[in-house]
A and B are shown apart, each in its own frame.
Chain A
Amino acid sequence: MSDYNFAYLDEQTKRMIRRAILKGIAIPGYQVPFASREMPMPYGWGTGGVQVSAACLTPDDSFKVIDQGADDTTNAVSIRKFFEHTAGVATTEHTVDATVIQTRHRIPEEPLTEDQILVYQVPIPEPLRFLEPRETETRKMHALEEYGLMHVKLYEDIARHGNIATAYAYPVKVEDRYVMDPSPIPKFDNPKLEMAAIQLFGAGREQRIYAIPPYTKVVSLDFEDHPFDPSKADHPCDLCGAEHTYLDEVIIDDEGGRMFVCSDTDYCSKRQADGHRGRLSPIEEAAE
């Protein structure tokens, strides 16, 4: 433990953040402004997620952090260590054992339960930002439910490329009201946004918190003749053989050799422990 308060932030600040979270849950998909604090890690490196996690954690929680689906990526390690030091909470790499999961860019493959909270790190919370850079304008557009610009953008993609040219941070409509940025998760993860767990989104630099309550309707924007397609690499995992997971492409030599592995490292190792094998599974080789 350190000299700082439990989970670093003082209780007044946590109360302010909890209020913003509750408001976010009450208005699914609405971006609630909050007085984001300077954290001891840089803006853009998960300060929003860290503040939301700090406001949610209790001493009995079990905390998991993933970045790109993996527990051992450097920034995930750094954030996990931060809460080990400042909150002394138990940490885990197992999705099923975690009560609070902070994530960057992925939703775990394992379906989450009602006893879990998924906290997203969000770089740009405003789905309309790259269509209209002004906050004063985009807030008005949300208030008036004026989302024509977004549909025009998606239509222009189709006209130009034959497809909607958004592969991650694919916009969704929450509970038939707010268009929301699901953070830069691959669109493969979008269908999972309808889940049993509470989903909280924290954008520190942009001072916004928003939420999706459990079992909330979340629809990825599309057109009748161009339905949403949550595509992924057309391969099975080379380590665990899974055909239904999001895959990372790993370059293994300088002659174009590559392999595909689950981006969710915990899910992949669990499957391997259960005896599933992929094309290049190292465990099989060791057994020979």
Chain B
Amino acid sequence: MYVAVKGGERAIDNAHAWLAEERRGDTSIAELSVEQIREQLGLAINRVMAEGSLYDPDLAALAIKQSRGDLIEAIFLIRAYRTTLPRIGHSHPIDTGKMACDRRISATFKDVPGGQVLGPTFDYTHRLLDFKLAAEGELPEAPIRETEAQDMPRVTDYLNREGMIQTEERTEGTPPDLTRQPMEYPANRPLRLQALTRGDEGFVLSMAYSTQRGYARNHPFVGELRIGKVAVEMDISALGFSIDIGEMTVTECETVNQFTGSKSEPPQFTRGYGLVFGQTERKAISMALVDRALRWKELGEDNVGAPAQDEEFVLAHSDNIQATGFLEHIKLPHYVDFQSELELVRKLRAEVMAASQKEAAE
């Protein structure tokens, strides 16, 4: 005899208990601490902070631990936490010109004032598995050179002096906040940049890649990529002046793109811009390329119908928390809808069968 499936509540509790056990894995092996994750999986931390839109390495580490290393799940935990936090105020815009750079490279000039600084990069490593890492070993110390703090002027500013690159107009208005207002199209550039910086790394990467392969090609050079710490400053109304409330690591990328000019503009270079929390250069470069592709209207270019030029397409599908939620919801029961489809298909089939039988009889 059929008995309606009951006990969803107990099944859920038991599933959670099993999940917790699986997360811990073999208990004879030492448990990962949040500090170990924070210190040794730094790039995972960076991605979670960037796409979670919350700069807090400790919380990101906790989220990665809780999510068993599923970074989208970790990002989700951070987002759901972030949304409950009160808004105390806004910081001043960070000044990346005053960044203490760990890494700073320009692909458009052989050398630049401030120098090319490679920093901690995978770029020229040979991708050979290092079996020494599998055995626990002491790490040789990296050499240190004393340097004087020196200015790192922006590479694009050199081009700007000659009028060779389009000037970014300064706007004084407060930019809209993606997390506090519903997205409406057409969006403006601040909104687009907000969506891109928290957008899924894989999605933004693929969109950027598609422009390189010819879908709205805009021939980018990395004018400058810089990674380092910047101070975050905020007005404290009780004090009547602004103070540094902390520092954060960000990655900034400015691309220099070819541009032949339009009816209203003489030939000059144009820019794409990427800014992302943490050391996240793949994402920052991708963001700059997509930003540039989305600026076709403003720069008087043709819309060639490429996906990366389509603001609504890019922005509506870049958020991996929205995407994964909706994708995975098809696991939920849909038997009521399926039943109505079943009835409909049965009815349509019956009509077709009856018609063909009638034809055969005639």
Is there a chain B Cβ closer than 8 Å to A77's Cβ? yes
A165 at the interface (CB under 8 A from B): yes
Given contacts A77-B8, A167-B343, whether A184 and B337 have CB atoms under 8 Å apart is yes
Which A residues from 228 to 265 make CB contacts under 8 A with B?
231-233, 246-250, 252, 259, 261, 263, 265
State which of B186, B332, B341 has its C-beta within 8 Å of the C-beta of A136.
B186
Identify A38's interface contact among B12, B83, B332, CB under 8 A: B83
Q: Which of B57-65, B74-82, B245-253 contacts A (4 or more CB under 8 A)?
A: B74-82
Of A4, A72, A136, the residue contacting B7 (CB under 8 A) is: A72
B185 and A43 form a contact (CB under 8 A): no
Contacting residue for B326 out of A104, A205, A233, A249, CB 8 A: A205
B side interface size, CB within 8 A: 51
- B86 in contact (CB, < 8 A): yes
Tell me the smallest distance from the CB of B74 to a CB of chain A, in Å. 14
Instruction: Please judge, given known A-B contacts A77-B8, A168-B337, whether A42 and B348 are in contact too, CB under 8 Å.
Output: no
Distance A231 CA – B345 CA, assembled complex (angstroms): 12
| Contact B329–A72 (Cβ < 8 Å) | no
Binds A, one of B90-98, B99-107, B175-183, B286-294: B175-183
Residue of B nearest to A184 (CB): B337
Contact B5 A168 (CB under 8 A): no
Q: Does B157 contact A (CB under 8 A)?
A: no
- How many pairs of residues, A versus B, come closer than 8 Å at their CB atoms? 151
Q: Which of B143-151, B210-218, B316-324 contacts A (4 or more CB under 8 A)?
A: B316-324
Chain A, residue nearest B186 (CB): A136
A187 at the interface (CB under 8 A from B): yes
* B184 CB-CB contact with A under 8 Å: yes
Which residues of B sit under 8 angstroms from A76, Cβ to Cβ?
8
A248 touches B336 (CB 8 A): yes
Write out the residue numbers on chain A whose beta carbons fall within 8 Å of the beta carbon of B186: 136
Contact yes or no, A35 B339, CB < 8 A: no
Residue of B nearest to A252 (CB): B2
Known: A136-B312, A232-B343. A39 touches B336 (CB 8 A): no
Q: Give Cα A75–Cα B8 distance, bound, in whole angstroms.
A: 9
B84 at the interface (CB under 8 A from A): yes
Contact A261 B4 (CB under 8 A): yes
Q: A74 near B82 (CB under 8 angstroms)?
A: no
Q: How far is the CA of A44 from the CA of B321 in the complex (A)?
A: 10
Q: Is the CB of A187 within 8 A of B325?
A: no
In the bound complex, what is the Cα–Cα distance between A121 and B199 (angstroms)?
25
Which of B8, B9, B182 is within 8 Å of A34, CB to CB?
A: B182
Q: Is the CB of B342 within 8 A of A207?
A: no
**Residues of B contacting A165 in the complex (Cβ-Cβ under 8 angstroms):** 344, 348
Q: Least Cβ distance of A139 to chain B in Å?
A: 9
Complex contacts, B343 vs chain A, CB 8 Å: 167, 231-233
B325 contacts A44, C-beta separation under 8 Å:
yes
Q: Pick the contact of A282 from B3, B182, B322, B336 — CB < 8 Å?
A: B3
Q: A258-288 CB contact bits vs B (8 Å, 1 = yes)?
A: 0101010100000000000000101001000
* Bound CA–CA A26/B271 (angstroms): 46
Q: Are B337 and A37 in contact, with the CB atoms below 8 A?
A: no
A186 touches B348 (CB 8 A): no
Residue B131 at the A interface, CB < 8 A? Answer: no
Of B2, B8, B180, which contacts A72 at CB under 8 A?
B8
Flag if A167 contacts B184 (CB, 8 Å).
no
Contact A282 B328 (CB under 8 A): no
Residue B132, interface by CB 8 Å = no
Smallest CB separation, A59 vs chain B (Å) = 20
* Interface mask (A166-192 → B, CB under 8 Å = 1, otherwise 0): 011100000000000000111110000
Q: Are B335 and A68 in contact (CB under 8 A)?
A: yes
Contact in complex: B2, A77 (CB < 8 Å): no
Instruction: Report the minimal beta-carbon distance from A128 to chain B, rounded to whole angstroms.
Output: 14
Residues of chain B lying within 8 A (CB to CB) of residue A282: 1-3
Assess A38 versus B79: contact at CB under 8 Å? Given A4-B84, A73-B333, A165-B348.
Answer: yes
Asked if B27 lies at the interface with its beta carbon under 8 angstroms from chain A, I say no
Interface: B340 (CB within 8 A) = yes
Does B351 reach chain A (CB closer than 8 Å)? Answer: yes
State which of B2, B335, B351 has its C-beta within 8 Å of the C-beta of A259. Answer: B2
Contact of A43 among B4, B5, B321 (CB under 8 A): B321
Query: Does any Cβ of A come within 8 Å of B135's Cβ?
Result: no
Taking A10-B86, A74-B12, A285-B1 as contacts, is the C-beta distance between A247 and B183 under 8 angstroms? no
A77→B76 CA distance, assembly (Å): 21
Residue in contact with A167 in the complex, picked from B4, B8, B179, B344, CB distance below 8 Å:
B344
Distance (Å) between the CB of A28 and the closest chain B CB?
20
8 Å CB interface, B1-53 against A: 1-9, 11-12
Contact of B336 among A44, A105, A207, A280 (CB under 8 A): A105
Is B7 touching A10 in the complex (CB atoms < 8 A)? no
Contacts of B358 in A (CB 8 A): none
Q: In the bound complex, how far is the Cα of B4 from the Cα of A34, in angstroms?
A: 38
CA distance A20 to B347 in the complex (A): 41
Asked if A35 and B182 sit within 8 Å, CB to CB, the answer is yes
Nearest 4 CB-CB pairings of A with B: A43-B325, A44-B329, A42-B325, A167-B340
- Supply 11 A–B pairs (Cβ within 8 Å), ascending by A: A36-B182, A44-B328, A67-B332, A68-B335, A72-B7, A74-B11, A77-B8, A77-B12, A136-B312, A168-B336, A232-B340
